[in-house]
Structure 1
Amino acid sequence: MSVAGNPRTTGRLPYQEAARELLRSTVLDAMRDLLTERDWSKITLGDVATQAGVSRQTLYNEFGSRAGLSQAYALRLADQLVDHVADAVASNVGDAATAVRVGMTDFFVSASLDPLVQSLLAGEMKPDLLRLITLDAGPLLVHATTRLAQVFVDSWVDATPAEADILAHALVRIALSYIPNPPVAERDAPAEMSALLSPYIDLIVSRGDGVHAGG
């Protein structure tokens, strides 16, 4: 599981970095708990600080503002997208269609259960949250694309960096577009994404000899 917008790590983190990750994780978990009780529009930074057991100044020092806090939470959602796809790729070696379908199904389920996403979709319009995944989605796109591209480079897909970037960027952009407009029952969004993207993965894999376009 990734923490607060940072990729999974296997080595030991320096103390200061580990302490910061723990702080961010604690705060974002506290924010999630509050979101299960009330709408985002009714939550203040003071509420989050109290729930997390930290000072409001600590919260300001780490996140800068309410917008910074919500962006950090959104980055963690982006990490969840990458983690779901990475797990599906690892569990479905050689089967691109299933990997994409399962990864996206798991992400859509987890996103639908997330209280910030539920807050975005319920009640009054929340332009600050909507901007996070539309006009201000640049940091999410870059972060998730960079992480997911590495998955496609390091896994059995064995994509070149250029191929991996194209694939990851397309998948992330499409996935994020579903957050403010969730998949409807009449359409199988994960299957449609699989039909669209898996042929590109199959083309990369079919080369099999390490010779990639543009490489």
Structure 2
Amino acid sequence: MPRPGTRIPYQEAARELLRASVLGAMRELLTERDWSKITLGDVAARAGVSRQTLYNEFGSRSGLAQSYALRLADDLVDHVDTAITGNVGDVRAAFREGVANFFIDAAADPLVRSLLAGEVKPDLLRLITLDAGPLLDQASKRLSLAFQHSWVAATAAESDIIAHALVRIAMSYIPTPPSPGQDAPGELSALLSPYVEAILAARIKR
């Protein structure tokens, strides 16, 4: 995101507006019908753009779905970043709150609901498993910066370790949601918090 006061070049701003409009249209359609019944033409018509424009920007139906899924990965980072800011000094609460809010949003997301409903959708499943590299890389890099530039103040190497672990584990719950009664956010917090607590304790001793 650009810093306040910075000017965004027109072409970049126009492209971001286009992508936001298209992904918003895709989300609307997913609330009405299953992903398997949505075509690029449907999305283009709902967004008010030509199908060629859609092809030029996203390349294919799979590319469109991947761009949508990247926003889902960004949601994880946003939730954890917000939880870190709101729970200064309490690592366990930050992890638990951030992951819990991500799970709530993910469960309500129409693309995730489409993935889990009805027949198996290999194209969507690949996005968060075999072809999840872009999602994991983007989210891990952003989350690493959150650990570096917050009260955690971990080094880049330390932040990369915790960010990679958290993103990979949290995203793995998308195709296989926690079972009823399972406190997955609490479990993840108990698993990952000691690493960050050790970082904080070592800094105090210096």
TM-score for the superposition, normalised by structure 2:
0.96
Which residue in the other structure is 2:196 paired with? 201
List, as ranges, runs of 4+ consecutive aligned residues in structure 1 with deviation greater than 6 Å.
none
Task: Give 1:183 deviation, angstroms.
Answer: 1.0
Which residue in the other structure is 1:5 paired with? none
For structure 1, the residue ranges without an aligned partner over 5 or more in a row are: 1-7
Which residue in the other structure is 1:111 paired with? 106
Which residue in the other structure is 2:60 paired with? 65
TM-score for the superposition, normalised by structure 1:
0.92
Q: Match for 2:16: what amino acid? A: E
For structure 2, the residue ranges without an aligned partner over 5 or more in a row are: none
SS in 1 for 2:106: helix
Out of 168, 176, 179, which is 1:181 matched to?
176
Out of 147, 159, 173, which is 1:152 matched to?
147
Measured in 2, the distance between the counterparts of 1:208 and 1:170 equals 22
Which residue in the other structure is 2:70 paired with? 75
Report percent identity of matched pairs.
Answer: 68
Task: Give 1:103 deviation, angstroms.
Answer: 0.1
Task: Give 1:210 deviation, angstroms.
Answer: 9.6
Out of 117, 121, 126, which is 2:121 matched to?
126
Measured in 2, the distance between the counterparts of 1:124 and 1:48 equals 22
Which residue in the other structure is 2:156 paired with? 161
Cα deviation code 1:22-54 (max 9, x no counterpart): 110110000000000000000000000000011
Which residue in the other structure is 2:133 paired with? 138
Task: Give 1:186 deviation, angstroms.
Answer: 2.7
Q: Which has the higher helix share?
A: 2
Q: Match for 2:148: what amino acid? A: V
Measured in 1, the distance between the counterparts of 2:117 and 2:134 equals 24
Out of 21, 25, 29, which is 1:30 matched to?
25
Measured in 2, the distance between the counterparts of 1:21 and 1:54 equals 14
Kindly report the root-mean-square deviation, in angstroms, between the aligned alpha carbons of the 2 structures.
Answer: 1.2
Task: Give 1:208 deviation, angstroms.
Answer: 2.7
Q: Match for 1:169: what amino acid? A: H
Cα deviation code 1:41-82 (max 9, x no counterpart): 000000000000111111000000000000000000000000
Which residue in the other structure is 1:3 paired with? none
